[in-house]
Amino acid sequence: MAANIIETNPQPFNPCNVDPVTLDILENALKNARIEMDATLIRTAMSPGIREQGDAFPLIADHNGKMVVGQFGSFIDGFLRQYDGDIEDGDVIWLSDPYSCEGAISHNNDWLILLPIFRDGRLIAWAAMFGHQTDVGGKVPGSLPTDAGSIFQEGVRIPPVKIFRKGEYQSDLVELVINQVRMPEWCRSDLNALIASCRMAERRVHEMCERFGDDIYVAATDELLARNHRAMSQLINTTVAEEKLSFTDYLCDDGRGYGPYKIHCTMWREGNKVILDFDGTDPQSASSINFYLNENMFKMFFGIYMIMVFDPQIMFNDGFYDLVDVRIPQGSLLKPKFPAALSCRTHGLGRIFDILGGLLGQRQPEFLNAAGFSSSPHLMFSGFDRNDEWFQLFQIGFGGVPGRPFGDGPDGHSMWPGFTNVPNEFLERYFPMRIERYETVPDSGGAGLNRGGNGINMVYHFTETGTISIHDDRWFTYPWGVNGGEPGMRSRKILKRKDGSEEILGAKIDEIDVHEGDELHYITWGGGGWGDPLDRDPELVATEVKQGLVTTEGARAYGVVISASGDVDRGATEALRAEMRGARGELPVFNHGRPIEDLRASCEVETGLPAPIQPRW
């Protein structure tokens, strides 16, 4: 089964040499086109998830489907392998079924538009963009049921279909899908925005071809891929060892009380090639935390991390793909079998980045980052307001960026590209709620020479009755510190009812009713610390105490004693630091807090929630 691309012009592109200046000009033009795709999307989309938070990902690929610019890597070849049909000039593909594209998108909420760009009867490029829809139907508002047992509970699942067929818009198809969702106007608008954004790229590619010629354009994209291949090959040879390195991290629970789930990856080099092998990762979950990881997407993550850690100057694209071999066991958490539920994959997606960081930094601890806010916690709040109008909020939260070789991790910031928070005044204007507190949690960032960023405490005061869902993780395991840095604090959610009663909410729950006057304290986790906290400048610690980012008690983790006046007590600080240095052994590269069994034993006391049960397969 493979797509059949119909080109009316059989003549192949002429291979030609591209002078370096033209190449650089085209590189820039492509980068600009990508930026324009984002700009178009944000201006015309409607759901706050896309328009305010930027949960959408563009790319421009060459005629073979290899990404030339973009950031989530090319998933086009996966689609082409699986699609059984013709693709011709004027067609635009729309899909949301992860199983139809080898996990190029990983849950039904992500709608993907694929636009083949034809010129004079030949396929010359692809534009693609996917964006997270606030709702695609299914059993709960937001379409991310924390306890789903199969993908059939997770809303409308769109196989690859032609939303434009030879230039003809298929409105019946759109109406069929829109009828399944709870927020039709947002979906319709966001879908339009995705298409408009790809059209923008299409226009730009045509302009480039007109200016330089089709053959030059194609040769230039080849050369841009080759340039990346050369740079990455050098980087891989100098930074990845032939000996095997492994790293393990966990997802805390699966929304049904089982956990933690292990993700394990081993990396080594054979000649020019890096192998990333997920053997040892736990089998798939019966619930919805499975993360269908596309191999090419993981190659891209790997490439970007290599580049950011070792040499941020390199422009990344798909050029280096054949230098990386990704192996994911069938039936595992990262390659579940159809029809496994996939909607709550965000935690796995995030955790993958901690794993990459942990793997790549092991040989060069000076490049190692701590564990951080490697997920995007969600809050859903929906219901009918007093005018009987349906409201539905999908909000992504943020927390502590980890301590870095570069410096402290920013407090309450996003690790996802382009994401921003939603202004609280906007939330209050359009949803029945008040945000009573919006601040970071002192001491939640792990202590270190470079402190981990603090998590956020966001207090929602509800002014109408509605239903909430929560998606979060790292409530059970700690965001680890590195090179002597301490772990960050874990997340927690407290619901304070109007009558004064209080309950601790689980990290992954649906269908909690709230009423006017109830308050939800949504507390995200902090980033791990980097380097020895006893080396941090005591004056800086004192300033952060004054700023409310660290408490007087928390300062002691840095061996710093703060006097009643708020200044550093020099003598006491020296004494405390000497005592702490004497009492501790050699500093570990990774500090995970405590072993899983200890965490389990003290879970209920510390978190207010029962310990997750070890899953059995």
Out of 12, 167, 407, 588, which residue is the one contacting another protein (CB under 8 A)? 407
Q: Is 12 helix (H, G, I), strand (E, B) or coil?
A: coil
Which tokens sit at 72? 């989530």
Number of residues binding to another protein, judged by CB under 8 A: 87
Q: How far is the CB of 59 from another protein (least distance, A)?
A: 12
Out of 13, 99, 268, 419, which residue is the one contacting another protein (CB under 8 A)? 419
Q: How far is the CB of 228 from another protein (least distance, A)?
A: 8
Q: How far is the CB of 512 from another protein (least distance, A)?
A: 23
Which tokens sit at 57? 């990902």
Out of 414, 444, 477, 483, which residue is the one contacting another protein (CB under 8 A)? 414
Query: Does residue 539 interact with another protein by CB under 8 A?
Result: no
Q: Is 609 helix (H, G, I), strand (E, B) or coil?
A: coil
Q: Judged by CB under 8 A, which stretch of 86-94, 112-120, 402-410, 553-561 contacts another protein?
A: 402-410
Task: Identify which of residues 139 and 496 has a Cβ nearer to another protein in the complex.
Answer: 496
Query: Does residue 524 interact with another protein by CB under 8 A?
Result: no
Q: In the range 1-60, which residues lie near another protein by CB under 8 A?
A: 19-21, 23-25, 27-29, 32, 36, 39-40, 42-47, 51-52
Q: Is 462 helix (H, G, I), strand (E, B) or coil?
A: strand
Q: Are 136 and 158 spatial neighbours (Cβ–Cβ below 8 Å)?
A: no
Query: Does residue 606 interact with another protein by CB under 8 A?
Result: no
Query: Does residue 411 interact with another protein by CB under 8 A?
Result: yes
Q: How far is the CB of 42 from another protein (least distance, A)?
A: 6
Q: Which residues pair with 343 in a beta bridge?
A: none
Query: Does residue 234 interact with another protein by CB under 8 A?
Result: yes
DSSP structure string for 18-65: --HHHHHHHHHHHHHHHHHHHHHHHHH--SHHHHTT--EEEEEEETTS
Out of 7, 214, 385, 428, which residue is the one contacting another protein (CB under 8 A)? 428
Task: Identify which of residues 349 and 512 has a Cβ nearer to another protein in the complex.
Answer: 349
Q: In the range 185-224, which residues lie near another protein by CB under 8 A?
A: 185-186, 188-189, 192, 196, 199
Rounded CA separation 465/168 (Å)? 44
Going edge to edge, which strands form the sheet with 456-462?
Answer: 433-440, 456-462, 519-523, 492-496, 502-505
Query: Does residue 311 interact with another protein by CB under 8 A?
Result: yes
Rounded CA separation 327/277 (Å)? 5
Q: Judged by CB under 8 A, which stretch of 145-153, 275-283, 423-431, 553-561 contacts another protein?
A: 423-431
Q: Which residues pair with 530 in a beta bridge?
A: 450, 482
Q: Calculate ∠ Cα 37-92-55, nearest 5°.
A: 40
Task: Identify which of residues 349 and 599 has a Cβ nearer to another protein in the complex.
Answer: 349
Q: Are 490 and 473 spatial neighbours (Cβ–Cβ below 8 Å)?
A: no
Task: Identify which of residues 285 and 414 has a Cβ nearer to another protein in the complex.
Answer: 414
Query: Does residue 515 interact with another protein by CB under 8 A?
Result: no
| CA distances in angstroms from 444 to 31, 281, 441, listed in the order given | 38, 29, 6
Task: Identify which of residues 319 and 615 has a Cβ nearer to another protein in the complex.
Answer: 319
Query: Does residue 133 interact with another protein by CB under 8 A?
Result: no
Query: Does residue 363 interact with another protein by CB under 8 A?
Result: no
| CA distances in angstroms from 313 to 31, 82, 231, 232, listed in the order given | 14, 35, 10, 12
Query: Does residue 543 interact with another protein by CB under 8 A?
Result: yes
Query: Does residue 320 interact with another protein by CB under 8 A?
Result: no
Out of 90, 331, 548, 588, which residue is the one contacting another protein (CB under 8 A)? 548
- Phi/psi at 274 (nearest 5 deg)? -100, 135
* Cis, peptide link before residue 312, omega less than 30° from 0: no
Closest C-alpha among 196, 197, 203, 204 to residue 28:
204
Query: Does residue 178 interact with another protein by CB under 8 A?
Result: no
Query: Does residue 439 interact with another protein by CB under 8 A?
Result: yes
Q: In the range 450-489, which residues lie near another protein by CB under 8 A?
A: 456, 459
| CA distances in angstroms from 54 to 41, 74, 76, 130, listed in the order given | 9, 19, 22, 11
Query: Does residue 426 interact with another protein by CB under 8 A?
Result: yes
Task: Identify which of residues 153 and 233 has a Cβ nearer to another protein in the complex.
Answer: 233
End-to-end CA distance of the chain: 33
Query: Does residue 404 interact with another protein by CB under 8 A?
Result: yes
Query: Does residue 305 interact with another protein by CB under 8 A?
Result: yes
DSSP structure string for 159-171: PSEEEEETTEE-H
Out of 72, 247, 278, 292, which residue is the one contacting another protein (CB under 8 A)? 72
